[in-house]
Structure 1
Amino acid sequence: EKRLKELLAEKAVSRQDYDDTSAALKQIQADVQTASINLKYTTITAPISGRIGKSSVTVGALVTAHQPVALATIQQMDPMYVDVSQSTTDILRLRRQIQEGELDPNANQQKKVRLFLDDGTVYPLKGNLQFRDITVDPTTGSVILRIVFPNPKGVLLPGMFVRTVIQEGLHKNAMMIPQQAVSRDPKGNPYTLTVDIAGKVQQRDIKLDRAVGDAWLVDSGLADGDRVIVEGLLKAKPGMTVKTVPFENNGKTNPSAPPANTN
């Protein structure tokens, strides 16, 4: 264009040739700009950080804005949101125990949550309880609890099955006994066998709260200092005189103590 201006000043080209060439140049520049804009549309930048899964479309496929099929799904990996369900029965029990003073809802580590992976291993990092949903699912009778876990190494994956343990509160007077120490009568009511001061077996009807690991949380029926029979339940009968042997947590009796005898 600059060269044509010089030739036009010297009257080496006509005004018509200059105007036609200038118009053609501007059209080419406009086409280049349009092509550059369209080229930018071929690169889609993610609005959030995370990891992308498989693509729903192939290279060369025609896509449009607001199409029903997403190109791909981006998952946020760190932190990871874990949604777990809690039954309304547990919620009502928790509220009742807090109102009656059995649980302290303001204990330390109240919102810290432990997580167990699908293979049973413990996730090394603890999560924080964010909120409890207020809407009950009518099909399951439960609400959703959302927990946030740090996931710097990407151990947790979207859709993974996990189990969580949430500290609901501190039960200062909690009493637990091994599950194997609990039996049930023909009506299904739980009971356990204890040994009194005289060494005689007694049957105690108890009320259980829930299972905690391999133990039962006892709501009522036992007092501090009661000796509960854990092993030899088939041989022990109410009224019998027995000799007790300390029971260890590993499920074995103390080898230094003599074996228990029944009369």
Structure 2
Amino acid sequence: MNKPSIMKKRVLTYLIPALVGVFITTTSCGDSKQAQKGQEQQPQTLPVITIPQQTVTGYSSYPASIEGIVNSGVRAKIQGYISNVLVDEGEKVRKGQVLFKLETQSLSQDANAAKANVNAAQVEVDKLRPLVEKKIISNVQLETAKAQLQQAQSAYESIAANIGYGTVRSPVDGYVGAIPYREGTLVGPSDSTPLTTVSDIEKVYAFFSMNESEYLDFIQNTEGASLQEKVDNFPQVTLELANGKEYDQKGKIQTVTGQVDPTTGTVSFRAIFDNPNQLITNGNSGTLKIPIVYSDVAVVPQNSTFEQQGKIITYKVSSENKTVTSEITTKAVVGNLYIVDSGLQAGDRIIAKGANKVRAGMTIQPREVPFDSIAKPVKQLFQ
């Protein structure tokens, strides 16, 4: 065999394996890229909910102060030292029951002296009367003596009345409030703080206010031709107590001033609540809640939306399972639900969770989940 033939065989021996290796590598890379491309094109599976139409109750809330329907301050009508406190705070009392005794010893001495003056004046009248009848003296002297008797009687009666005021009685049926003064304290009519307050709390008033805009909305949305008719048609209200728990009695708005206070810019309301167990009392505070019913409205869970530049955004899912950006406007927020005004309607499908991680135009594999699993049952919360 000549040399050129030997050289050709050697070149082919090394070249063929190399070409085979290149072919295998190229084929392998192509298959890998093709598989990766197939994986990228696989639609992402995302949870989807269908927007329902519901009737939802929300609440507007207002700070309220509580007072008994009768709330009577008990004050001393005379100046004197308290000698006895005959009741305790929180005690139920009847009208006319003695609450306090004031020291009246000095008044009793004055009364004795005044009574002596009355007796002396009476003796003088009795002495002059027969003399006038016998025309020994003129009638003027008798009339003067009668006037002096009347003055003496008035002075005595005034002192006796003051002695009576030393016994301080309850002006109404009710429950005794705080008692800031105790035995030995000097009290009088000019004291700024009463001896106590007796409150009738079988029923209680809740006082609250609305600003002018809220008042107008509330009145205009209530049926009735006159203000009184509207008051009669006001819905029942609830009271949230200071501990965050709801009072178990419903209330009724009784009065509304209908006038805007120029100092505060508000309109005052008064609601009344039964208080059979005396759970709440004069001086308590709470939050009064007025129900607002939204009938047959589309609702969307807040966690199915996100905010972007002050706008509320969600993603609808089209019939082709593509995501479409949807800006919504809302009427109100109740619990964790938006009451939809525009942008969505009942029957629309939206991305249930993770809307802020989705982009418009994506093709997805929708996985329908129950609405309540995202929104939870609507809890009646105040706005």
Fold similarity call, TM over 0.5: yes
Pairs aligned (count): 220
Alignment of 1:146 with 2:282, yes or no, is no
1:224 is aligned to 346
Q: CA deviation at 1:92?
A: 4.2
Q: Residues 34, 160 of structure 1: CA spacing in aligned structure 2 closer, same or farther, 3 A cutoff? A: closer
1:203 corresponds to which of 317, 321, 325 = 325
Shift of 1:129: 1.5
User: Does the 8 A contact of 1:202 with 1:239 survive in 2?
Assistant: yes
Q: Is contact 1:206-1:220 (8 Å) kept?
A: yes
Rounded Cα–Cα distance in structure 2 between residues aligned with 1:233 and 1:77: 53
1:158 to 282, 303, 307: 282
Letter in 1 for 2:339: L
Stretch of structure 1 that moved more, 154-163 or 135-144: 135-144
Aligned twin of 1:257: none
Preserved CA contact (<8 Å) 1:110 1:167? no
SS in 1 for 2:169: coil
Give how far 1:194 is off: 2.1
Cα distance between partner residues in 2 of 1:179 and 1:124: 30
Q: Deviations over 1:104-132 (max 9, x none)?
A: x99xx852112222333222111111233
Matched, 1:185 2:288: no
CA distances 1:143-188 after superposition (whole Å, capped 9, x unpaired): 33322111111222334342232124x43333332222332222x1
- Counterpart selection for 1:194 from 316, 325, 336: 316
Identical residues among aligned pairs (%):
27
Task: Tell me the equivalent position of 1:215.
Answer: 337
User: Alpha-carbon deviation of 1:66?
Assistant: 6.2
Q: 5+ unaligned residues in a row in structure 2: which ranges?
A: 1-118, 124-152, 224-228, 377-383
Match of 2:199 among 37, 58, 75: 75
Opposite residue 245 of structure 2, the aligned amino acid is T
Larger Rg: 2
What is the distance in 1 between the residues matched to 2:363 and 2:257?
54
Alpha carbons of structure 1 residues 84 and 215: separation in structure 2 relative to 1, 3 Å:
farther
- Relative to structure 1, the CA distance from residue 206 to residue 91 in structure 2 (aligned partners, 3 Å threshold; closer, same or farther) is farther
Structure with the bigger percentage of helix: 2
Counterparts of 1:123 and 1:178, CA distance in 2: 28
Letter in 2 for 1:234: N
Q: What letter matches 2:348 in structure 1? A: D
How far, CA to CA, are the matches of 1:117 and 1:63 in structure 2? Answer: 35
Instruction: With the length of structure 1 as denominator, give the TM-score of the two structures.
Output: 0.66
Q: Is the 8 A contact 1:176 1:216 kept in 2?
A: yes
Q: 1:133 to 1:205 in 2, by over 3 A?
A: farther
Higher share in strand: 2
